[in-house]
Amino acid sequence: MKQKILITGASGFVGSFLVEEALRRGMEVWAAVRPTSSRQWLSDERINFLPLHMADYGVLREEIEAHVREHGSFDFVIHAAGATKAKNREAFLKNNTTTTLNLAKVLVEAEALKGRMVYMSSLSVMGAIHENDGKELTDEDTAQPNTAYGESKLAAERELEKIEKLDYIVLRPTGIYGPRERDYFLMAKSISQHIDFSVGFKPQVITFIYVRDVVQAAFLALENGRSRKAYFLSDGAEYSSRDFSDLLQKEMGVRRVLHVCAPLWVLRLVCTVSQWLAGLRNKQTTLNMDKYNILCQRNWRCSIEPARSELHFKPEWTLARGVEETVGWYKAAGWI
């Protein structure tokens, strides 16, 4: 019989790639989506859709219990749903922490999960604790998030620890890029207009991971690795702040680019004003104090040796290869 997997956040950037990989593996795929979610990347007829209201524990339990009665339990769950942007700290906690706790509790209480759950967290849970010494983050370091987003992701990890009967693994990827992703695309769009904007004069060490390598790690974690442990993910290399933009410029064939580097105080001012205006309009904004803390951080090193040895994770996509495929997709999709 086919292994049955539930993938939350299936309509999103990472989630849609997880669905494609599960289908490629011949699994019975259940895509958890909100009723209002776009299904642009979920057109395969083999996908089974399961609308879930994860912010409401009572409703979610009814939905999962009804599914189990009709279709049986899941063999695996990959929980990729969550918010990378929100109006405020409370919204982040609701969309990232509360939803994760609700899902985990219901899976255990309704006996809806036979195997393991993989939770997609983020390197942002660590904050900037190595800003001064420049060392890479390891398992020995204590998470100290300095953004509301990172705080909400870490809070979700802590809630999972309280559920004794749950077999799970946490993945903490660094910046994920690839086709369908829109934040890094903004950089490509800017470079296509011959402008590359950066902030801070102190050298910055950045790490990346291509979306297909994140997917590889998620499926490896379903059956490998130590239960209830968190693993950092990157492509295993380190980059300067110019490496990504230079590769984008090369792949897009943009001949001349004006590189503008602004001091951090300018970024802080812009983010402060943008967040204030968004609050007045009751809307989300990309440029906020969370984004400021992320962009001003100078060190994003992390060790992936535990993921290599315990998950058997082998990054396959260098930054150059990943950017080449991503830009090719941008062009084919008409984004640039």
Give tens-digit pLDDT for 161-173.
999 999 999 999 9
Q: Residue 157: what pLDDT?
A: 98
The answer to whether 300 touches 131, Cβ cutoff 8 Å, is no
Would you place residue 132 in the very low, low, confident or very high pLDDT band (cuts 50, 70, 90)?
Answer: low
* Mean of all residue pLDDT scores within the chain: 93
β-pairing, 195-199 vs 258-262, is parallel
- pLDDT exceeds cutoff 90 at 245: yes
Q: Measuring CA to CA, which residue among 68, 21, 71, 12 is closest to residue 41? A: 12
Alpha helix ranges (H) inside 163-242: 183-192, 211-221
Q: What percent of the chain has pLDDT over 70?
A: 99
With tokens 């040895």, the residue in question is 309
- pLDDT exceeds cutoff 80 at 134: no
25-58 per-position pLDDT tens digit = 999 999 999 878 889 999 999 999 999 999 999 9
Would you place residue 201 in the very low, low, confident or very high pLDDT band (cuts 50, 70, 90)?
Answer: confident
Q: Residue 19: what pLDDT?
A: 98
Alpha helix ranges (H) inside 25-97: 57-71, 89-92
Q: Which residues contact 259 (CB under 8 A, 6 or more apart)?
A: 196, 198, 242, 245
3-state secondary structure of 173: strand
Element (H or E) spanning 167, and its range?
A: none
Domain ranges of the chain: 4-181+207-241+300-329
Q: Measuring CA to CA, which residue among 169, 151, 54 is closest to residue 102? A: 54
The answer to whether 257 touches 196, Cβ cutoff 8 Å, is yes
What string of DSSP letters covers 270-326? HHHHHHHHHHHHT---SSSHHHHHHHH--B--B--HHIIIII-------HHHHHHHH
What number is the average pLDDT over the span 240-247? 92
The two three-digit tokens of residue 278, written as one number: 């968004």
CA distance 108 to 115: 11
Higher-confidence residue of 296 and 22: namely 22
3-state secondary structure of 45: coil
Q: Which residues contact 194 (CB under 8 A, 6 or more apart)?
A: 254, 256, 257, 258
Homologous superfamily of domain range 4-181+207-241+300-329: NAD(P)-binding Rossmann-like Domain (3.40.50.720)
Q: Measuring CA to CA, which residue among 200, 233, 213 is closest to residue 301? A: 233
68-110 per-position pLDDT tens digit = 999 999 999 999 999 998 888 999 999 999 999 999 999 999 9
Q: Residue 219: what pLDDT?
A: 98
Higher-confidence residue of 262 and 149: namely 149
Q: Residue 198: what pLDDT?
A: 86
Q: What length does the chain have?
A: 336
Burial of 249: CB neighbours in 10 Å, binned 0-12, 13-18, 19+: buried
With tokens 């970024």, the residue in question is 267
- pLDDT exceeds cutoff 80 at 131: no
Alpha helix ranges (H) inside 110-202: 148-161, 183-192
285-312 per-position pLDDT tens digit = 777 788 888 888 888 999 999 999 999 9
Q: Residue 314: what pLDDT?
A: 98
